[in-house]
Structure 1
Amino acid sequence: MANPKTTTYDFKKVSVVVDGVIITGFMDGESIQTEKNEDDVNVHVGADGGVTFSETNDDTGTITLTIKQTSPSDPYLRQLRASKRIFPVQIIDSNSNTFRAGGSECRIVKSPSRSYGNEVSGLEWQIAVADFKEV
């Protein structure tokens, strides 16, 4: 009988879709990161100990993709950056069908730095998301 606490994770079931194009050629390790830029609330404690939560209303976030320097997605991301267009990004984890992140108003922050050596290096593409959501 299988242990109900045992699960399986497969990176191939995680998709990154940038303006309708599926990104491929990721580096090994942590190759996709999502992060909301600010906390949802600020906490203020008064002199008398009273606590006030204030909503930040900052819905921005950052998505960082680390792809191999040989990735077929690198020229596409460079072209998208050069276009200065606003575009949608979605990250879909089909392992559990419970996680999605992204937004419809995104821009590439800058071209990644490059390094060369006897191993394949990674390129970190940072994408700013104006309407970041995680569900």
Structure 2
Amino acid sequence: MNEVKVFNPKDVTVIYDGMVITGYADGSMVKAEKNEDNMIPHVGVLGEVSVAINANNTGKVTISLANTSPFIKILADKARANIIAPLSVVNMNKYGVNVGGTQAWVTKVPDVNIGKEVESQDIEFFVADYSVD
């Protein structure tokens, strides 16, 4: 019999500068990605393949907060102050992947979305030493 795999979003925590971020919007909570590929291929005119190891280990993490989250203003203040701090996405689910780094910052003051209903606001972090565990 196949094992039923369970995912619980309550078992995912985002921590920036020692703060546990709360107030996520409906839908995707976190998106994390490395900025460039690990290796850069080169194919010569005769089809010979070489590869260069890419030393760029930067990445970005985007979180989607509801516009009612108190962390929109807190993270906007961090962006204005150019704060560089640790960022961790801790996924405690059985098959969870953790991402983050010790040097991250909010790339810009978050956009403002105001409408009839609670809106989603994305906040992007640049991670200078991006890692996936």
Q: 2:108, 2:78 → 1: CA distance?
A: 11
Match of 2:54 among 53, 56, 67: 56
Secondary structure of 1:125's counterpart equals: strand
Q: RMSD in angstroms over aligned alpha carbons? A: 1.3
2: distance between equivalents of 1:98 and 1:68?
24
Aligned partner (choices 22, 25, 32) of residue 24 of structure 1: 22
Matched positions, count: 133
Task: Provide the residue aligned with 1:73 in structure 2.
Answer: 71
AA at the equivalent of 1:15: T
1:12 match: 10
7-16 vs 47-56, which moves further: 47-56
TM-score by length of 1: 0.92
CA offsets per residue over residues 52-110 of structure 1, 9 Å max, x none? 11111101100001101101222221221122121010001100264110011111111
Cα deviation, residue 112, structure 1: 1.9
Give the SS at the match of 1:99: coil
Unaligned runs of at least 5 residues, structure 2: none
Residue 118 (structure 1) shift: 1.0
Give 1:124's aligned residue. 122
Equivalent position of 1:34 in the other structure: 32
Instruction: Out of 121-130 and 70-79, give the one that drifted further.
Output: 70-79
AA aligned to 2:22 is T
Large movers: runs of 4+ above 4 Å? none
- In 1, are the aligned partners of 2:106 and 2:126 still within 8 Å (CA)? yes
Q: Which amino acid aligns with 1:64?
A: T
Amino acid at match of 2:112: R
Tell me by how many angstroms 1:48 deviates.
1.9
Percent identical residues: 30
**Structure 2-normalised TM-score?**
0.94
**CA separation in 2, counterparts of 1:7 and 1:55?**
35
Gaps of 5+ in 1: none
